[in-house]
Amino acid sequence: MAYNWNWGVFLQPTATGDDSTYLDWMFHGLQMTIGLSLSAWLIALLLGAVVGVLRTVPNRWLSGVATAYVEFFRNIPLLVQLFLWYFVMPELLPENLGNAFKQTNPIVQQFLSSMICLALFTSARVAEQVRSGINSLPPGQKNAGLALGFTLSQTYRHVMLPMAVRLIVPPLTSEFLNIFKNSAVCSTIGLLELAAQGRQLVDYTAQPYESFIAVTVAYLLLNVVVMSGMRWVEAHVRVPGYIGGK
């Protein structure tokens, strides 16, 4: 196989005529991936915490609604959800709102749909982690909080959640890593994130090996950073004398 390796391709000016190089494209893609994943992760954490807590409260209606939410977002393929948010949702909105959405900058449309999609999909998974964290606490902890005169919400706030969150840092790390990887799906609706930029680079330069090796390395580095960050968090919140503590 005669393949012309050319790592210098990244420094060449792009064929679009402006000043940017192909490396700039990669950076833009990386920025988009990071911006999208982080914003979706924040929403997923907040929403997942709320839904996860609701699944454990002693109220059949609330926990039922939360369970339905989790099962809905967990059991539809991510790609299908993305298409629903991007192609179907604008049609279901009230007409003026739907039109307003369709008239905004296409990049904003793609970004918003992708962010909501990733956030809700991941929130269902975070909710399951939160629920399992709460359920794995000794049952006496809740009683101890209530017996001191805490209300149920104070008991969650001061007694159960602080420990539950510590217990689920490792599984949350996987979800955090997943959201970066899942964000690549958003290239299917035209969002120019890292994977899409990689493909675009192939179209323009016919150097697929260099392009996808660069994309691969970028994802790996990104997740190494996330993983070390979460390790730090894990060590930081460790409870002395408790299982896994020092």
Q: Which residues bind another protein (CB under 8 A)?
A: 138, 140-141, 143-151, 154, 158-159, 162-163, 166, 239-242, 245
Distance in angstroms (rounded) separating the CA atoms of residues 141 and 159? 7
Rounded least distance, CB 178 to another protein, Å: 27
Rounded least distance, CB 234 to another protein, Å: 14
Rounded least distance, CB 47 to another protein, Å: 24
Rounded least distance, CB 91 to another protein, Å: 47
Nearer to another protein, 166 or 181 (CB): 166
Nearer to another protein, 50 or 163 (CB): 163
Specify the residue for token string 């059949």: 60
Distance in angstroms (rounded) separating the CA atoms of residues 9 and 209? 11
Rounded least distance, CB 206 to another protein, Å: 57
Nearer to another protein, 104 or 151 (CB): 151
Nearer to another protein, 147 or 206 (CB): 147
Nearer to another protein, 88 or 243 (CB): 243
